[in-house]
Amino acid sequence: MNQRMKLTVNGKDRRVTARPDAYLIDVLRDDLALTGTKYACGMGECGACTVLLDGEPVFSCLTLAIETQGRAITTIEGLTRDGVQDPLQQAFADRGGVQCGFCTPGMILSARALLDEQPHPTEAEVRRALSGNLCRCTGYAKIVESVLTAAEE
Ligand code: FES
Ligand code: FES
C-alpha cells in the first residue's frame, strides 16, 4: 500500500505518495522529475545514482525513500543556485571531466562532499573520494583534474 512521505530535496519540502519499499532514486526520477540522478547498475557498484544525504554521498538505488524523511537530500539539480553553477560543474565542463556525462552527476556530488569537508584535497584524497564512482569514458585523469581545479578556485 502506498504511503505519504515528506522529503526535503534541494532545500524544499516535497510530498510524494509511494510504496514503503520504493528506492530514493525512483522517487526522485519518477515522482519528482529530478532526472539528473542516473540509474545504471542498481546494485551499489557504479555510483551513477549518488546523491547527498545530510551532506554525505549515498547510493540512491540502495536507499529507501521512506528512510530519508527528515534528512536533507541534495541532487545534482540542487547544486545550481539562482542560475549559478557550482564551481565543480563549471570545472568539469572546462577541464573535460565530462564525456558521455552519465557518471557526472554522481561524480560531482561525491566531489562536493569531499570539498565541503576538505576544501584543498590532495590528488590521492580526490581519487579516494571518487572511488565509488565508475566512469567508462574518461580514464579518470580529467575528472580528478576537474575536482582539483574547482578546489583551487
Ligand atoms: S545505480 Fe546505484 S550504484 Fe549503480
Ligand atoms: S563520462 Fe561517460 S561514464 Fe563517465
**What is the pLDDT at residue 24?**
98
Instruction: Report CA dihedral (112, 114, 115, 117) to the nearest 10 degrees.
Output: 120
Block residue for cell numbers 581545479: 149
Q: Are 40 and 48 in contact (CB under 8 A)?
A: yes
Q: Which ligand is nearest to the CA of 37?
A: 1
Within 10 angstroms of residue 14's Cβ, the number of other Cβ atoms is: 16
Query: Ligand 1: which of 61, 110, 135 to mutate, most ligand atoms within 8 Å of CB?
Result: 61
pLDDT-flagged residues of the chain (< 50): none
The predicted model scores a pTM of 0.96
Q: Which ligand is nearest to the CA of 101?
A: 2
Which residue segments constitute the domains of the chain, with CATH numbers given? 3-79 (3.10.20.30), 87-152 (1.10.150.120)
**What is the pLDDT at residue 86?**
97
Query: Ligand 2: which of 50, 104, 107, 133 to mutate, most ligand atoms within 8 Å of CB?
Result: 104
